[in-house]
Amino acid sequence: MHGTITTLLGPSGSGKTTLLRILAGLDNPTQGTILYGNKPINDSNRDFLRQKATLVFQKSVFFDTTVYNNIAYGLKLGDYSKEEINRKVTDALDLVRLEGVETRRAKKLSGGEQQRVSLARALVLDRELLLLDEPTVNIDPKNVSIIEETILRVNREKNITIVLATHNLFQAEAISERVALILEGTVRQVGTKHEIFGKSNKYLTSFARLENVFSGISKISEDGTSIISVDQNLKIEASFNRPGEITVHVRPEDILVSIKPLKSSARNIFKGRIIGITDLGSTARLTVDAGKKFSVQITKKSLTEMNLNVGSDIFLTFKASSVRLI
């Protein structure tokens, strides 16, 4: 549908990237027909599709030159004046909030910044269809937020149709208008995000690998929130109102880490000890024993600044609104 954001949601290996490559005109479907508008796409007119769509790969390749030259490369192959190229590159960098980095070497940027450069390189081409393959995978939360904001802004201001592939159901729910659930190479379900996420869904639960999952007995507090007794030593407060036996989860990126208790309105504060650290590139995944095991994602910068190691005692803080019902 023109001007909408549609998410291809599914686990790794489900066929999301293959479908994006077909939509970009890079691969041929083994069966079925591609329609762009009402126009069938085949071998004789596949270049038409390539001129309408651009695909941002999960792992982009950069030339060993400046950010400016990487973004301007596609424009220099076309019939654009130097002034037009400068304007388009400047506008694209503004959209992805990377003003002032034009002369930096693209390969020297962080993973999140490189992904934003890839997005800018696609945006300068002014195509009708923007295809994004896992645009925020394995990058730090700050850059995830900027990329998601950029996707929404581009769709809103330029009315560009966007199709993105992700395994992150929270991202799909946050920025999509329509969602296609893909499992084992088959589109199982297509609908609005309210139709997909608004009720229990067997297809979602079949692949969603949720972390920080806790079960317990919930009682309603005087404030109308849910106090979930996971065990004698761990009680989690949630903003929803649901008594009885329930299961909840908290996203690793929604948990703040500190050396001392934070002065915060957040209702959930737990002291714990780091028992494992996993390197994820620009971020790190902490496994923390706080009575129950918690998985927490922080930036490498935060890990270094707080001098965190296995055995470090820390505090975990998260809002009641970050606790989600399963």
Read off the CATH number of the domain in which 258 is found.
Answer: 2.40.50.100
Residues 160 and 178 in one domain: yes
Contact 141, 132 (CB under 8 A): no
Residues 180 and 216 in one domain: no
Contact 81, 90 (CB under 8 A): no
Return the H-helix or E-strand segment holding 302: helix 300-305
Total residues found in the chain within this entry: 326
The pLDDT assigned to 193 comes to 87
Q: How many CB atoms lie within 10 A of CB 254?
A: 19
pLDDT digits (tens, 9 = 90+) for 125-164: 999 999 999 998 878 878 888 899 999 999 998 899 999 9
In a domain, 69, yes or no: yes
In a domain, 326, yes or no: no
Residues 32 and 171 in one domain: yes
Contact 164, 177 (CB under 8 A): no
Residues 171 and 36 in one domain: yes
Task: Considering only residues 313 and 172, tell me which one the structure prediction assigns the higher pLDDT.
Answer: 313
Residues 43 and 15 in one domain: yes
Assessment of whether the complete model's pTM goes beyond 0.95: no
pLDDT digits (tens, 9 = 90+) for 98-118: 999 999 999 888 888 999 999
Residues 179 and 283 in one domain: no
In a domain, 305, yes or no: yes
In a domain, 325, yes or no: no
Residues 21 and 137 in one domain: yes
Residues 41 and 117 in one domain: yes
pLDDT digits (tens, 9 = 90+) for 57-69: 988 778 889 999 9
Asked if pLDDT for residue 200 goes beyond 60, the answer is no
Asked if pLDDT for residue 185 goes beyond 60, the answer is yes
Q: How many CB atoms lie within 10 A of CB 292?
A: 16
Q: Structurally, how many domains does the chain consist of? A: 3
Query: What is the SS3 assignment for 56?
Result: strand
Range of the domain at 221: 212-250
Could you tell me the CATH number of the domain that includes residue 18? Answer: 3.40.50.300
User: Sign of the CA dihedral 242, 247, 251, 256?
Assistant: positive
Q: How many CB atoms lie within 10 A of CB 290?
A: 18
Q: What is the mean pLDDT of residues 245-249?
A: 87
Residues 101 and 245 in one domain: no
The pLDDT assigned to 206 comes to 65
Most confident of 143-147, 213-217, 272-276: 272-276
3-state secondary structure 82-138: HHHHHHHHHHHHHHCCCCCCCCCEHHHCCHHHHHHHHHHHHHCCCCCEEEEECCCCC
Residues 308 and 200 in one domain: no
In a domain, 75, yes or no: yes
Residues 103 and 243 in one domain: no
Residues 54 and 194 in one domain: yes
Q: What is the mean pLDDT of residues 41-59?
A: 88
Across the chain, mean pLDDT equals 89
Q: Which letter, b or e, does each residue of 117-155 get, where b requires 16 or more Cβ atoms within 10 Å of its Cβ?
A: bbbbbbbbeebbbbbbbbbbbebbbebbebbbebbeebb
